[in-house]
Amino acid sequence: MSLSRVESRKQQQKQEQHRSRKRRRRGIINFCLAVLILIGLAFIFQYDRIESIYESIAGKLKNEQPPIHVVQNPYSDPEAAIQEESPGAGTSVEEEGKAADDTDEDGSGGTNVIEPESSEAEGEGEQSPAAPVEPEEEAVIQLAFVGDILQGEYINSYLEKEGFSYPYEQALFHLTSADITAGNLEMPITRVNNPADKTYVFRGQPEALSGIVEAGIDIVSLANNHTLDHGIDGLLDTRKYLDEYGIAHVGAGNNAEEAYEPVILEANGIKVAYVATSRVLPETSWKATPYQAGLAESYAPEQTIEAIEKVEAEAHITVVLVHWGLEREDSPEPYQLDLARRYIDAGADIVIGSHPHVLQGFEQYNGKWIAYSLGNFAFSAHPKGRQAETGVLTATCNAKAECEAQFAPMKIVNAQPTPVEGEQAKNILAFLESVSFDVKLDERGNLKKSP
């Protein structure tokens, strides 16, 4: 082989090696660009959660206390307008009537949120939060409570035909005559369709929230075994839509700090703090953590107890809304009694339970009222037996958290909780007295501790 041919071959090999290196560099560059694009997209779609995590970490580094939402009750002002929506259809996940009388097995924008101002002067050390301004001595507040609310699903046919406020029409007097009304929202409000791997999966349309607004329900607990039925996106949607409709919410958040964060509502100069927690979660991944959205829970109740203790100085009355117990059981489990007492020992003044889908009894512990379950409220269209029995519990309290309680018995008829009288009322009240703990109920539903 001639020298010229050898040199030519070497030259070709060098050129081939050069081209190969260029291809490798181009491939690496393209790969890096793709990774950067994916990271950018992830940041865009998860910005709210990333920002929340950053703020949480920054707050811990600065040793800041978690903020407490103070929400002015819109119904304390008779001039306050109620947001209205034209009736429309609900989102059906399961066909009406398929299991309408069964229950599941799974063991701040429009709300006028006012962040409390810092009481410390610039440059001074952290101080304890100031006690609430005392209202007039004779001031009282009426707090109403209802059980599980399913604004869709089993009652969709009625919502589509009669409108979103239909379920509450018969009980409207009891709901709206109170200064603040609270319940348990047993479903996510979202258009996301990402069902969890469980038997009963619920979902409601945002427009259906107008019915809850018109019913005078001011605050709902999200700490239950259905709020994450359509994942974290469904949970975040629920919070967003509740804010848009002016309904306060508690028990769920972008992280644990938000999930356990109390909400304070005020009426007649009396501040009421609401804390929500669940002892029923389908899986541990539903629990809120410092870096993951989720729910407040009481399998380990220390964080709930801490939230109660922290908010006691901020409000006159502290209410705990707790999801617990066994479905279709008339009596609470021993752990429910234990948790209720621990909440009250920590500073709670009223404890309201949900989840069993039937009424359970009452108890007064250290002068504080406990309702172990208020059953279903707006949930099924035609429930049977004890699952049809429901009502509204009203607590009339002064600024010292001294409360008198009264239960208005109702039965669910055609998806409407309907007040009952005569023998029907007598039977429900007698049953409640039989499953209560040293509590008597008179013919008007007034609760009194037995002597």
Considering the domain boundaries, does residue 263 fall inside one? yes
Check the CA dihedral 371-325-147-191 and report its sign: positive
Specify whether the CB–CB gap between 297 and 339 falls below 8 A. no
Instruction: Tell me the CA end-to-end span of the chain in Å, nearest whole number.
Output: 118
Structure tokens at 286: 């539903």
Q: Residue 421 is part of which domain span?
A: 69-121+129-449
Considering the domain boundaries, does residue 245 fall inside one? yes
Give the CA count within 13 Å in the CB-facing half-sphere of 345. 8
The per-residue pLDDT for 44 is 58
Of residues 25 and 441, more confidence is placed in 441
Give the CA count within 13 Å in the CB-facing half-sphere of 140. 12
Q: What's the whole-number mean pLDDT along residues 59-69?
A: 49
Q: What's the whole-number mean pLDDT along residues 357-367?
A: 97
How does strand 219-221 pair with strand 248-250? parallel
H-type helices in 46-170, by residue range?
47-61, 156-162
With pLDDT > 90 as the criterion, what percentage of the chain qualifies?
A: 69
With pLDDT > 70 as the criterion, what percentage of the chain qualifies?
A: 77
| Average pLDDT value for the chain | 84
Considering the domain boundaries, does residue 41 fall inside one? no
The per-residue pLDDT for 207 is 97
Domain count, the chain: 1
Specify whether the CB–CB gap between 274 and 312 falls below 8 A. no
Considering the domain boundaries, does residue 394 fall inside one? yes
Q: Give the C-alpha separation, 90 to 399, whole Å.
A: 40
Specify whether the CB–CB gap between 376 and 383 falls below 8 A. yes
Considering the domain boundaries, does residue 14 fall inside one? no
Q: Which helix (H) or strand (E) holds 45?
A: helix 3-45
Amino acid at 402: E
Q: What's the whole-number mean pLDDT along residues 244-266?
A: 98
Judged against a pLDDT cut of 60, whether residue 324 lies above it is answered with yes
Q: Give the C-alpha separation, 332 to 322, whole Å.
A: 13
Q: Give the C-alpha separation, 212 to 155, whole Å.
A: 14
Instruction: Give the total residue count for the chain.
Output: 451
Structure tokens at 319: 């209410």
Considering the domain boundaries, does residue 346 fall inside one? yes
Chain center to CA of 187? 9
Find where tokens 């995590």 sit.
53
The per-residue pLDDT for 61 is 52
Task: List pLDDT tens digits, range 383-394.
Answer: 999 999 999 999
Task: List pLDDT tens digits, range 219-237.
Answer: 999 999 999 999 999 999 9
Q: Which helix (H) or strand (E) holds 12?
A: helix 3-45
Check the CA dihedral 30-31-34-35 and report its sign: negative
Task: List pLDDT tens digits, range 16-51.
Answer: 777 777 777 787 888 888 778 877 666 555 555 555
Task: List pLDDT tens digits, range 140-184.
Answer: 999 999 999 999 999 999 999 999 999 999 999 999 999 999 999
Q: Whole-prediction pTM value?
A: 0.75
Considering the domain boundaries, does residue 259 fall inside one? yes
Using DSSP's 3-state secondary structure scheme, residue 393 falls into strand
Find where tokens 């009750």 sit.
73
The CATH number assigned to the domain holding 361 equals 3.60.21.10
Q: What angle do CA 380, 218, 105 make, to 5 degrees?
A: 35
Amino acid at 137: E
Judged against a pLDDT cut of 60, whether residue 353 lies above it is answered with yes
Q: Give the C-alpha separation, 63 to 328, whole Å.
A: 45
Strand partners, 144: 181, 394
Considering the domain boundaries, does residue 154 fall inside one? yes
The per-residue pLDDT for 158 is 95
Q: Give the C-alpha separation, 159 to 117, whole Å.
A: 42
